[in-house]
Structure 1
Amino acid sequence: MIQLQIEGGTPMELQIGKYTARISVLPPIHPKFRITPEPAAPNSTDGEEEQIEAEPISGFTCIIGYTSGGGEVSERLITCRSLRAHGTGLTIGAICHAAKGFRAFRVDRISAVSDPHTGEVIGDGSYFSRFAVKSSDKARAPSGGWGLTPSRMRTLVAGLNVLSFIARCDGYWHALEDEPLANFIERLWMRKDWEGQPPVAAILDHAKRLAPDSSIFFASLETIFGSRSSTRLLISSVRELIEADGIIQDQETNWVLAMQQHQEEYYARKGLLGSI
């Protein structure tokens, strides 16, 4: 069993409920955006999404310009969950922070995708094509995720979501925490012997647009725990991350303990206890 030893910091006695502690620390929102809270529709059938799995699109947070079926134009802050085929196009499943719930958005109705922190427009609906995974989805929108296959992109983004969650759990992404994430990207690329050089700057920009909640955090851990080498690398990267600013916060300690507990539960389910 891989253990992450932490020196300093005081573990809280708070027991984190994995499926109820749905915290998500969003990046600061650029003042140019005006996100108006949306009242919940009576008898809405949108509800909560299906069981969450780690996907390349998981945790990606952005502002979209969206036109509804009725022609209403709005700006919405969303944290993405899934990308699925819809007729001849694609649909994004996401948490809409204005509606405070799960919503589905047709990619062909998205006019703009913007970085919520900088306000930069980074694309239109076609931007999401890089996150397509299934062959049926890719036929509708060719994938282009940093030159990686869908399985490799899933592994990379899972690690980024875990590290992004730990970086943001104290409420602030410190500049000193950039280096541990860049190191994770480079080391994962090298250990997996992936072709070419990693576009570290572009991937780090993506990592800063991630705002995973605890459900994405745990789903991403399960993706990483499936590989011994990925698990070892993530453990060392988490250690490097929480020590980067010289202060280990209680929130960081608490979530690392939850991470260790989930690792033990995962190995127990898979019959792998004591094998690493």
Structure 2
Amino acid sequence: MELQIGKYTARISVLPPIHPKFRITPEPAAPNSTDGEEEQIEAEPISGFTCIIGYTSGGGEVSERLITCRSLRAHGTGLTIGAICHAAKGFRAFRVDRISAVSDPHTGEVIGDGSYFSRFAVKSSDKARAPSGGWGLTPSRMRTLVAGLNVLSFIARCDGYWHALEDEPLANFIERLWMRKDWEGQPPVAAILDHAKRLAPDSSIFFASLETIFGSRSSTRLLISSVRELIEADGIIQDQETNWVLAMQQHQEEYYARKGLLGSI
């Protein structure tokens, strides 16, 4: 079956239901407000992380923002998050030192303040095997793990509902990736699964994450088997799941063609 992947590359969001305690007020997008960085999507440890932030603007205005993170960059002595702001319906930059609270959008739980984001910071001077602060993994390992989690969470949410039976395939992916890559120690599966449930990647992050995974044949094989396990977990294979698996297959073929490699799902 030939799939025209273009219809799937437009930004498609898979946001979870928002807890009623939050009041997210849509705001009109300002002219020329979209940063060019938005189109240069790369898989990062922070990619796909979705939360509600309490934010104070430079003018002193306090608001709650539903954001899906894309990047974390140094800003002077602090950090700046690049994210899709769902109130503004566009890309925005948020200074971490102006974030007073970080909350889980689905449960309403406050999980930290602006310092919460430091766990995603990856310094360019980090050595290949230096711990990054994320589950004891190096930056490259964390990118690989989060890329896989973003793909799986996207597939889990693409039909509009994350079924409880879909938790197990994600937990299996975490354990198998850890084992196959021979990473040190035991994976903190519960903590990583909690993070996975806070991921709400859009289709741009989905495809960027696939490219990170496709760079390794072993990671690719594991992800493919995990996707199959995931879509079969609740006993019903939805049309949306089938379409996105086909899009994933076509993207892999295009990736291998660009790299001069052979292989397909």
Does the 8 Å CA contact 1:129/1:138 hold for their aligned counterparts? no
Instruction: For residue 133 of structure 1, report the CA deviation from its aligned partner.
Output: 1.4
- Deviation per residue, 1:15-55 (Å, 9 max, x gap): 34267431111111111100011112245364661410000
Secondary structure, aligned partner of 2:125: helix
Distance 1:139 1:114, change over 3 A: farther
User: Could you tell me how far 1:142 is from its partner in structure 2?
Assistant: 9.4
Q: Counterpart of 1:152?
A: 141
What is the TM-score when the length of structure 1 is the normalising length? 0.90
Q: Decide which of 243, 246, 256 is 1:257's aligned counterpart.
A: 246
- 8 Å CA contact 1:90–1:140 kept in 2: the answer is no
Q: Which has the higher contact order (CA 8 A, sep 6+)?
A: 1
Looking at structure 2, the residues matched to 129 and 141 of structure 1 have their Cα atoms a distance apart, in angstroms, of 16
Identify if the C-alpha distance between structure 1 residues 57 and 137 changes in structure 2 by more than 3 Å, giving closer, same or farther.
Answer: farther
Q: Which of residues 90, 111, 122 is equivalent to 2:79?
A: 90
| Distance apart, 1:138 and its partner CA | 11
Query: Hey, what's the Cα distance between the residues in 1 that align with 2:210 and 2:226?
Result: 13
Q: Indicate how the Cα distance of structure 1 residues 168 and 275 shifts in structure 2: closer, same or farther if over 3 A, else same.
A: closer
Matches of 1:236 and 1:275, distance apart in 2: 13
1:23 to 1, 12, 37: 12
Contact conserved, 1:89 with 1:140, CA < 8 A, in 2? no
- Equivalent-residue separation in structure 2 for 1:137 and 1:88 (angstroms): 17
- Measured at CA, do residues 263 and 132 of structure 1 come closer, stay the same or move farther in structure 2, by a change above 3 Å? same
Name the SS of the counterpart of 1:246 in structure 2.
Answer: coil
What secondary structure is seen at the aligned counterpart in 2 of 1:160? Answer: helix
1:73 and 2:53 matched:
no
Q: Distance in 2 between matches of 1:185 and 1:54?
A: 17
Residue 248 of structure 1 deviates from its aligned partner by 0.6
Instruction: Check conservation: 2:128, 2:139, Cα contact below 8 A.
Output: no
Cα gap change, 1:102/1:19 in structure 2, threshold over 3 Å: closer, same or farther?
Answer: farther
Q: Once the two structures are superposed, what CA deviation does each residue of 1:176-223 show, in whole Å capped at 9, x if it has no partner?
A: 000000000000001111111111111001001101111101100000
TM-score by length of 2: 0.94
State how far apart, in whole Å, the 2-side matches of 1:23 and 1:59 are: 13
Give the whole-Å Cα distance in 1 for the aligned partners of 2:220 and 2:167. 20
On the 8 A contact 2:8/2:247 being kept in 1, the answer is: no
What does the per-residue CA deviation read over 1:73-121, in whole Å, with 9 as the maximum and x for residues that have no partner? Answer: 1000000000001111110000000000000000010010000001001
* SS of residue in 2 equivalent to 1:176: helix
In structure 1, the gaps of 5 or more residues are 1-11
Task: Tell me the distance in 2 between the aligned counterparts of 1:66 and 1:192.
Answer: 39
- Change over 3 Å in CA distance of 1:245–1:190 after alignment to 2: same
CA distance in 2, matches of 1:19, 1:60: 21
Q: Percent identity?
A: 100
Q: Cα gap change, 1:264/1:108 in structure 2, threshold over 3 Å: closer, same or farther?
A: same
CA distance in 2, matches of 1:208, 1:86: 28
Q: Secondary structure at the match of 2:3?
A: coil
- Matched-pair contact (CA < 8 Å) for 1:92–1:105: yes
CA distance in 1, matches of 2:49, 2:246: 25
Could you tell me which residue of structure 2 aligns to residue 133 of structure 1? 122
Cα offsets for 1:104-147 (capped at 9, x unmatched): 00001001000000100101111001111123699999942111
Tell me, what secondary structure is at the counterpart of 1:77?
strand
Aligned match for 2:208, one of 219, 238, 244: 219
Change (3 A) 1:233 1:51: same
Distance in 1 separating the partners of 2:31 and 2:245: 39
Q: SS at 1:113's partner residue?
A: strand
